[in-house]
Structure 1
Amino acid sequence: MTQSFDTPLPPPKERRRLREKGTLTQAQLAAQLGVSRETVRAWETGRSTPSGRKRESYGQLLASLAAEPSAEVTAPQKQEPPPKLTISLSKAEKPNPHTATPTATATATATHTPPPPPTTAPLTPAQAFDALYAFCAPALVRQAYLLTGRRELARESVEQAFQVAWQRWPEVAVDPDPASWVRAAAYEYALSPWHRFRPRYRHPEPPPADASDRALLDVLLTLPPSYRRTLLLYDGVGLGLPETAAETEASTRAAASRLLHARSAVAARLPDLAEPDVLHRRLAETASTERLRAAKPPTVRIGSERRARFWTRAAIAITVAIIGATALTLHSAPTRYEPPVPPGETVPGLPPRAAPGTLSTAELTLRAKLRAESANGPERLLPEPR
């Protein structure tokens, strides 16, 4: 009997609502399904859809969460004591214990009204940025180190990515996956080919102390940047193949081809890492052995603001210089057409150009004498002292 895996799934927003209804985090749901937390996040944001056995397991889990009654319905209502009736009576009236006045009824209704639920203040942009930085920066520094093999460049790449994210925070804050946005920016900066022309990056850094870590890092650095990035995202970070292809801006088939070639290159030089699980563990261990620390979030935010002010002032200065040069050109330029002076015409105020004229009698005699005498041999003319 064949087993069908085309299990219907609810929309992405409904998947997240059902998970929150069951009081499950993305990490807990990923552990039950045997996938990474990034994969669960991609399923809930609609960036990818599970298939095969993962789809069936995910659909059954969502169905069980949907069948469970809500905690608000099953929870027994708390019995509250009857409200105390405070009735104000004048001296002329007698209290009647068998009748209740409208004032007492209104007072009881007002006292029984439940208080409004407490509201939590939303995070400020700086607090949200600091939370994202504290969550992503340590792991991103280790990933950038595996991409480049340079500790300082890894820290610089992460700081540069978060500085750009802070400058474009309104766009990053509404992104379905801001961590992927920052990771893509850090990877692009780390793999930029222009770093080879910087003087500080012309010489290699000290390799890792462990021999196995050095061997793995050497193999990674021999791979092309696109293969290295694909291998790190799939086997290191744990993204799915569609998410890896989307982040590397390639098709799924191209991402799969890069992954297979990268795995075969690593297995050819390090046969112990032929299994994907072993490779994943070794990548994590190699990145964790290096003590790579990222800067504090306020430092990154202040650096981003300083960089933005510098480029703003530079743009203003260049604009002012262009405006000044244009104004000077307009002021000194002629206001009418002046034709060029033709050659041979006398210019007022300048002496006329000297031109060869007729020879005098003395010059003609000297020319005849020079032509008559021999110019070569011992009989050539020699200057005579006077």
Structure 2
Amino acid sequence: MMVCTPRLLVLTGLAVLAACSGQTDDSQDNDAAVERIALPVQVLEAGPGSIAQVVEAQARLRSTRHQELVILAPGIIRELHVMDGQVVEAGDPLLEMDPLPDDMDAVAEAENALRRAQRHLQRLEALQERISGAVAQSDIDQANDGVEDAQLQLTRAQRDRSNRQLVAPFHGVIEGVEVTIGQRLDRGTLFARIQDVASFTIHAKIPETVLPRLRTGLPVDVHPVGAEIAQGTIISLPAAVDRERGTGTLIVRVDEPGGDWRPGSFAVLRIHTERIEGDVVLPRGAVLQQRNRSYVWVVVADPEDPDHHYVDRRWLRLGRGDEDSVVIEDGLQAGDLVVRDGTSGLREQVPVRLHEQTYQPPPAEEKEEDETTSGRGGRPSS
């Protein structure tokens, strides 16, 4: 019996070791099984935020000023520098004309006529100075009138010559060009129209129920279809409300529009009326509904094994918000991990694993400092 005892002890020890080894293997298998059945989810951290209250409207862009470009002197088109829809800068040439055949020498003829009138007046004045009463005062007055008329004719001829080149009065877009090179244009003919593109106004119809939330000076995001977004300001509120349609017209002005804006383009307006602040703000997509009650799934670490996580349902009381975000008044705290994607198949206490968590790199200054003080592997560089 005494001889067998050591064997029994050895066997017992081996059995105990085998049992311990079996427990370790079982634990590892259980962990692996949990990992296999844990559902992957994407989470976001609940925290404070603000929600901009926005009123949307639609309207067309209007230029703040326009001008008709009228021919000021008759002529024949020699050069045409613009076409319909072209954008020009102030001072850009639009049209150049040659004078009509009868007006080819108008300036030279006016200069000669002025010289003749001046010489005639000088002769009369010299004669009157030599012989008092030799020239009637009415003749001298008539000669003075002749000089003034000749000067006016010369001024007009010179103006006509300069007016045969038409330039843009301001930065704008040209519309209504319907002429061709070689065409004769008479004085007063409408050549084209120009609309300013340096600033715009928008006259938008707004529902009567929204008007109390608006005031002059509020910022407005203006997004013309297919063009750059720019910011404007409400400059006028409706003076009256259309009772049949239940709307009023407000006016928005944009002084720094996009370079591709054009009068008449259709635009969407987003008017920022106020901002809602909240200690916890979530995207609407993370909030689920069950029997008209709102809830979210919150990821909780297993207290016995922090490496494992499960989900817990949290019922919510919602506050104000917009179509994208909402303030959570009760049911969540800042810092809670809320399931954003992967909610399908979740229920209470279901194990989950966090999937595709976003890594936030340190600021550039800290990173540069770390690289200068450390070598590879995080050890101080020598």
**TM-score scaled by structure 2?**
0.17
**TM-score scaled by structure 1?**
0.17
Higher strand share: 2
Higher helix share: 1
